[in-house]
Amino acid sequence: ETWDMPLAYAASNYHSENATQFAEEVTEATGGELEIVAHPGGSLFKGGEIFRAVRTGQAPIGERLISALGNEDAIFEIDSIPFLATSFDDARKLYEASKPALEEVLELKGLKLLYAVPWPPQGLYVNKEVDEAADMEGVKFRAYNAATARLAELMRAVPTKIEAAEISQAFATGVVESMISSGSTGYDRKIWEHVKYWYDVQAWLPKNMVLVNLDAWNGLDEEMQAVVLEKAGAAEERGWAKAEELANWYKEQLAENGMTVAPPSEQLAADFKEIGQTMMAEWLERAGDKGKAVIDAYQGME
């Protein structure tokens, strides 16, 4: 059996490399009985299509950014609530706390979660020095969904709609002056050509997840399932380690290319913490009891 596995990000991205390795390992361990073929760079289905494609069986397996699915269910947004989990350790805890709820929602949609790997923490890119949230007032801030628009609003920045494909041009021409994104985005787009400051605020650590269609999953015998799960577990560990290693590497690269890379000032961190509280309260209203249970579990963890 052959499983085509659509991946949204470029072949050289560590998520794609990791998933490709996972695919090869499964193929090898099953002696080719289950061959998984990775298709990176959106070459099979593009990011926005992958969730639906896996759900309807057009592709048996695929990878998607979890928080992109927030409109499906608020639980998918949990890893992008600003300033809730702001380190790899916290992000891991939040993942463990939210996993049962996540799996439950996915199962209802006919899907099984194989593994999830984070992106490097989200930092604040801005074209001037920022010491407190008030410095963001009037700054044109990239908004690409409801949450980032709300975040801009709370910082009293100007939410500016820019699509991913237009980021570089928008910064070059001054359409936008600031955004929150991971170090990798800035590195990939050579953002230092346009922006000079990166504050390591670690706003959130969004994750990609690898999903498999339940019908396809149930079509495997138990032995094969065990192999896939084992390799998925290995891919998850590998991915988390790689993300942490890269987070530092990206930071160094940004600095090396002339950007001022700095932790947030105490005031800025405190201001952001407060904004985070507001946004979490708003999220809890949408997510209801299920969301509250996850947050409680997370906050109860040591």
Partner 1 sequence: MRDLLTGLDRALNRIYTFAGAVAAGFLVLLALCVALSILTRMAGLYVAGLTAYSGYAMAASAFLALAYTFREGGHIRVALLRNRLAGRARFAVEVWCLGVASVFSVYLAWYLVRMTEISWQFGDKSEGADATPLWIPQSALAAGASVMALAAVHALIKTLLTRDIDAPFSGSSQTLSE
Partner 2 sequence: MIEIGYTAIFLAVLFLFLGTGVWIALSLIGVATIGMMLFTARPVGDAMATTIWSASSSWTLAALPLFVWMGEILFRTRLSENLFRGLQPWMNRLPGGLLHVNIAGSAIFAAISGSSAATVATVGKMSIPELRRRRYPERMIVGTLAGAGTLGLLIPPSITLIIYGVAVNESIAKLFIAGILPGLMLAAMFMAYVMGWSLATRQSDDFAAERYGWGERVRALGQLLPVLALILAVMGAIYTGIATATEAAVLGVAGALVLSALQGELTWASFRESLLGATRTSSMIAFILAGSSFLTLAMGFTGIPRALATWIADLQLSPAMLIAALTLFYIVLGCFLDGISAIVLTMAVVEPIIRQAGFDMIWFGVFLMIVVEIAQITPPIGFNLFVLQGMTGREMDFIARAAAPMFAIMVLAVIVLYLFPGIATVLPSHM
Among 29, 42, 110, 253, binds partner 2 (CB under 8 A): 42
- Smaller CB separation from partner 1, 72 or 188: 72
Q: Are 224 and 230 in contact (CB under 8 A)?
A: no
What is the DSSP code string of 126-145? ESS--SSGGGGTT-EEEE-S
Candidate ranges 23-31, 50-58, 148-156, 195-203; the one touching partner 2 (CB under 8 A): 50-58
Relative to beta strand 260-262, strand 197-199 is parallel
Per-residue binder mask for partner 2 (CB under 8 A), 123-162, x = binder: ---------------------------------------x
173 binds, among partner 1, partner 2, none (CB under 5 to 8 A by kind): partner 2
Q: Which two tokens stand for residue 205?
A: 């650590």
- 3-state SS class at 5: strand
Minimum separation from the CB atom of position 48 to partner 1 (A):
6
- 3-state SS class at 70: coil
**146, 165, 261, 290 from 253: Cα distances, Å:** 30, 22, 10, 40
Strands (DSSP E) found in the chain: 2-6, 35-39, 61-65, 111-118, 122-126, 140-143, 158-161, 178-182, 197-199, 207-213, 260-262
| Positions in 182-201 near partner 2 (CB under 8 A) | 187-190, 193-194
Candidate ranges 2-10, 121-129, 224-232, 277-285; the one touching partner 2 (CB under 8 A): 2-10
Residue 71 touches partner 2, criterion: CB under 8 A? no
Q: Given the rule CB under 8 A, which residues bind partner 1?
A: 48, 51-52, 55-56, 68-72, 109, 143-146, 149, 152-153, 158-161, 163, 175
Minimum separation from the CB atom of position 68 to partner 1 (A):
5
Relative to beta strand 158-161, strand 61-65 is unpaired
Minimum separation from the CB atom of position 280 to partner 1 (A):
19
Residue 245 touches partner 2, criterion: CB under 8 A? no
Return d(Cα 56, Cα 207) in angstroms, integer: 22
Residue 99 touches partner 2, criterion: CB under 8 A? no
Residue 261 touches partner 2, criterion: CB under 8 A? no
Q: Which two tokens stand for residue 219?
A: 């079509």
109 binds, among partner 1, partner 2, none (CB under 5 to 8 A by kind): partner 1
